[in-house]
Amino acid sequence: MKKQITIKLKRSAIGCTDKQKATIKGLGLRKINSVKTLENTPAVRGMIKAMITWLEIAK
């Protein structure tokens, strides 16, 4: 079984750049407090690192 990471969107995407909004959408998040469990891959970790101030992470 692959390791997974759970993320939660804690801030609104209003005021973000288009690239940041695309990253949030790429992570599968839509609204504030939406939660998604994803595989812990380098690509996902890179997207999380780019949006760290908007996200809450639980392993």
Instruction: Tell me the per-residue pLDDT of 42-58, one tens digit each, with 9 for 90 and over.
Output: 999 999 999 999 999 98
Q: Say how far apart CA 58 and CA 53 lie, in whole Å.
A: 14
> Rounded to two decimals, what is the model's pTM?
0.86
Q: Say how far apart CA 27 and CA 46 lie, in whole Å.
A: 11
pLDDT for the residue numbered 33:
96
Output the DSSP codes for the chain: ---EEEEEE-S--TT--HHHHHHHHHTT--STT-EEEEE--HHHHHHHHHTGGGEEEE-
Q: Is 57 left (phi over 0), alpha (psi -120 to 50) or beta?
A: beta
Q: What is the pLDDT of residues 12-39, one digit of tens each?
A: 999 999 999 999 999 999 999 999 999 9
The domain defined by 4-58 folds into Ribosomal Protein L30; Chain: A, (3.30.1390)
